[in-house]
């Protein structure tokens, strides 16, 4: 399979997925930016050349530095200008990917002080590794070139608490709860620290599952082009702490 900068080429991956050029073109629309009437795609001349991939360690360092700015109320709000909007209108090269909880209090771009096109974010309740989430992250890494994935859990996660209680839940709510339960073996649900312990245990479990469930991600890790780590977000302070 042809590769670009060590990654699977977009065209080759689309062929594997069975996506033809006609169907791809049918999903493409011309967007107008909110600052004027000129189509963003007409700004192609302003788009920068494809950046060199950021190393996994540098990507992690950038995110942690951004988080420190956030918690110290010194956010720079980078890459949120009109020019940036036009730059990423026709192409994206996120330097990192986040598998985070869908909780409304943990918006990745804000807590890591990043902007448009910087992060590829997948959010599900309980930050669980589902087939859809895995496929999305495979695309982010093998096609778009992201070299870091952070599985980001958070303090007092409701999905984790539900998994600890093992109560019957209506509708499809129980689906993600079942995906968390294997991570909680050995945790005393009656302990005062049980929820926080369970949050960390779930992050570590999902990290391991993600590393082992995808041949694409496994190969990128072996090639030194990808790192998958786990983090815990503190709702009270806004700080992200690595737990793997």
Domains, in order of start, for the chain: 31-242 (3.40.1050.10)
Q: What count of other Cβ atoms lies within 10 Å of the Cβ of residue 190?
A: 7
Q: Which residues pair with 99 in a beta bridge?
A: 122, 151
pLDDT digits (tens, 9 = 90+) for 84-118: 999 899 999 999 999 999 999 999 999 999 999 99
101-110, 141-150, 180-189, 231-240: least confident range: 180-189
Q: Is 39 helix (H, G, I), strand (E, B) or coil?
A: strand
DSSP 60-120: HHHHHHHHHHHHTT-----S-SHHHHHHTSS----SEEEEE---TT--HHHHTT--TTTEE
Choose from 173-187, 188-202, 220-234 the range with maximum mean pLDDT. 220-234
- Between CA 69 and CA 77 the distance in angstroms is 10
Mean predicted lDDT score pLDDT of the chain: 85
- Between CA 157 and CA 134 the distance in angstroms is 21
| pLDDT exceeds cutoff 70 at 21 | no
């Amino acid at each position: 399979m042809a590769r670009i900068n060590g990654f699977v080429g977009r065209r080759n991956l689309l062929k594997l997925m069975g996506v033809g050029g006609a169907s791809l073109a049918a999903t493409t629309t011309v967007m107008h930016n909110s600052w004027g009437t000129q189509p963003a795609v007409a700004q192609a001349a302003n788009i920068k050349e494809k950046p060199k991939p950021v190393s996994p360690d540098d990507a992690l360092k950038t995110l942690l530095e951004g988080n420190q700015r956030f918690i110290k109320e010194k956010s720079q709000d980078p890459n949120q200008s009109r020019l940036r909007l036009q730059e990423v209108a026709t192409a994206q090269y996120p330097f990192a990917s986040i598998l985070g909880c869908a909780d409304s209090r943990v918006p990745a771009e804000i807590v890591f002080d990043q902007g448009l096109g910087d992060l590829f974010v997948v959010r599900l309740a309980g930050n669980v590794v589902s087939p859809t989430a895995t496929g999305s992250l495979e695309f982010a890494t093998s096609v778009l070139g992201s070299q870091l994935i952070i599985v980001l859990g958070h303090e007092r996660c409701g999905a984790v608490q539900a998994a600890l209680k093992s109560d019957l839940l209506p509708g499809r709510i129980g689906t993600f709860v079942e995906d968390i339960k294997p991570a909680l073996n050995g945790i005393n649900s009656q302990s005062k620290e049980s929820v926080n312990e369970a949050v960390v245990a779930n992050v570590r479990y999902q990290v391991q599952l993600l590393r082992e469930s995808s041949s694409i991600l496994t190969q990128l890790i072996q090639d030194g082009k990808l790192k998958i780590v786990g983090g815990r977000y503190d709702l009270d302070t806004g700080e992200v702490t690595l737990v793997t």
